[in-house]
Structure 1
Amino acid sequence: MSFSANLGFLWADRPLPEAIRAAKAAGFDAVECHWPYDVPTEAVTAALQETGLRMLGLNTRRGDVAGGENGLSALPGREEDARAAIDEAIAYAVTINTPNIHVMAGFTEGRDAHETFVENLRYACEKAAPYGITILIEPLNRYDAPGYFLTTTDQALAVIADVGASNLKLMFDCYHVQLMEGDLTHRIEALLPSIGHIQFASVPDRGAPDHGEVNYTHIFSIIARLGYDAPLGAEYKPGGDTDATLSWMNDA
């Protein structure tokens, strides 16, 4: 197995370039992040080139975080802001050679929200395609993100079908899917053709994957048996020093 360090949570107390270097020193095969936009692309590129790691993915901006926003692309009436965030993410991703962008839906509901999300995703996929970038959508659980538009893999598949773009895929976060749906083994097996990236964390505390209700030794073996060989994203909250939480990686 190969693993990607999600630097939104791991080494989050360090500047992004230093977190990239820490991930390399710890033995990760790649990195990913949440919102890198306040860090100059030159500094990120330098750290990636120095370490030989690739930044696998980043998110579109959430919007007015202080006002409670968590994504823009499913919000009716916010299309201009959503597409500006998409354009910004693509430009940043192209500069640092990142192949995946998670387009965040936001807090909303209803059919109008679905149609808005579909149209904004069509825009994102069309804009991203010339650069070989895959657009990802991720269901979030109702406990951590109550009111988020996208909550289940079935809903995500319906959105993907309506968009109809070959470069739109599912971000399968084992943590969120377990909390909302369970049955991870069968869900991974059934959804693999639609999956663009896999992430993981313990359930229910979102800590390192060495405890909790999910047996990740089993899950990792299933993923390997299915032939999925891209790095798996370690998106967990270390609750302290990240380096002290990495024994799971040696076991894996």
Structure 2
Amino acid sequence: MKFSANLGFLWADRPLPDAIRAAKAAGFDAVECHWPYEVPVEEVSAALAETGLRMLGLNTVRGNTAKGENGLSALPGREDDARAAIDQAIAYAVAIDTPSIHVMAGFATGDAASEAFRANLSYACAQAAPHGISILIEPLNRYDAPGYFLTTTEQAREIIARVGAPNLKLMFDCYHVQLMEGDLTHRLRALQPVIGHIQFASVPDRAAPDRGEVNYAHVFGVVRDMGWPTPLGAEYKPGGDTDATLGWLKDLRG
């Protein structure tokens, strides 16, 4: 089993290039991040080349965070902003050879939001396809992100089917899915054809995966039996020094 360090949470107190180096030193197989845009691509590329790690994914920007925005692509009337965020993400991903982009939906509801999201995803998929980039959508739980447009894997699967782009995939975050739907291993198997990336954290506290109500030794065994080919994303909140939380990395690697 291989693992990717999500540097939005792990070593978040360090500059992104240094966090990449820390992930390599800790034994991770890859990295991923949230919003790297303030860091020059040359610095990130140099750290990736130095460590031999690949940046697996990044997110589109949230929008105006001072106003509480958490994504733009399901907001009716904000198509120009949403597509500018998609273009920005694709350009950065191409520059650092990142294969996936999570397009954030935002806080919205209703038919107009559904139409806006599908249209923006179609745009994202068309722009990303020539670069071999997958577009990911991620359901977020109602406790951490009340009012977020996308909340369940079934909703995501319907959107993926309606958009109909081969490079549109589901980000299956075990933490969010467990809080909203449960039944993780059956859902992983059933949704495997549309899953583009898998992430994890303990439930309900979103800490390291060696505690809480989810038996990740079992979940990762199922993922291994599925023949899953790419590293799983450790997207948890360490609550202090990241290195002090990494006992699970050896225990759960299998």
What's the CA shift for 1:83?
Answer: 0.1
Matched residue, 1:65: 65
Distance 2:66 2:206 in 1: 24
The equivalent of 1:17 in structure 2 is: 17
Identify unmatched segments of 5+ residues in structure 2.
none
Q: Which amino acid letter does the alignment assign opposite residue 37 of structure 1?
A: Y
For the residue of structure 2 that corresponds to 1:144, the secondary structure is: coil
Question: Structure 1: how far apart are the matches of 2:226 and 2:112?
Answer: 37
Letter in 2 for 1:233: G
Give the deviation of 1:84 after TM superposition. Answer: 0.2
Whole-angstrom CA distance in 1 between matches of 2:225 and 2:154: 23
Which residue number in structure 2 is paired with residue 153 of structure 1?
A: 153
Rounded to whole Å, the distance in 1 between the matches of 2:227 and 2:250 is 21
Partner of 1:215: 215
Distance 2:170 2:198 in 1: 9
Query: SS of the counterpart of 1:66?
Result: helix
Amino acid in the other structure paired with 2:150: L
Deviation of 1:5 (Å): 0.1
Report the Cα distance in structure 1 between the residues aligned to 2:218 and 2:192, rounded to whole angstroms.
16
Pairs aligned (count): 252
AA partner of residue 120 (structure 1): N
In structure 1, distance between residues paired with 2:175 and 2:213:
10
* TM-score of the superposed pair, with normalisation by structure 1: 1.00
Q: What do residues 133-160 of structure 1 show as CA deviations (whole Å, max 9, x unaligned)?
A: 0000000000000000000000001110
Aligned residue in 2 for 1:168: 168
CA distance in 2, matches of 1:178, 1:196: 18
Give 1:210 shift. 0.2
Which deviations, in whole Å up to 9, do the C-alpha atoms of 1:75-129 show, x marking residues without a partner?
0000000000000000000000000000000000011101100000000000000
Deviation at 1:32, TM superposition (A): 0.1
Looking at structure 2, the residues matched to 199 and 172 of structure 1 have their Cα atoms a distance apart, in angstroms, of 6
Q: Could you report, residue by residue, the CA deviation over 1:166-193 in whole angstroms, capped at 9, with x for unpaired residues?
A: 0000000000000000000100010011
Alignment deviations for residues 49-99 of structure 1 (CA, whole Å, 9 cap, x no partner) = 000000000000000001010000000000000000000000000000000
Partner of 1:248: 248
Shift of 1:229: 2.1
Q: Which stretches in structure 1 are left out of the alignment for 5+ residues? A: none
User: Counterpart of 1:226?
Assistant: 226
Identity of aligned residues (%): 78
Matched, 1:187 2:187: yes
Amino acid at match of 1:9: F
Counterpart AA for 1:219:
V
Please give the alpha-carbon distance, in whole angstroms, between the structure 2 residues aligned to 1:227 and 1:146: 34
Match of 1:134 in 2: 134
2:47 corresponds to which residue? 47
1:11-31 deviation digits (Å, cap 9, x = unpaired): 000000000000000000000
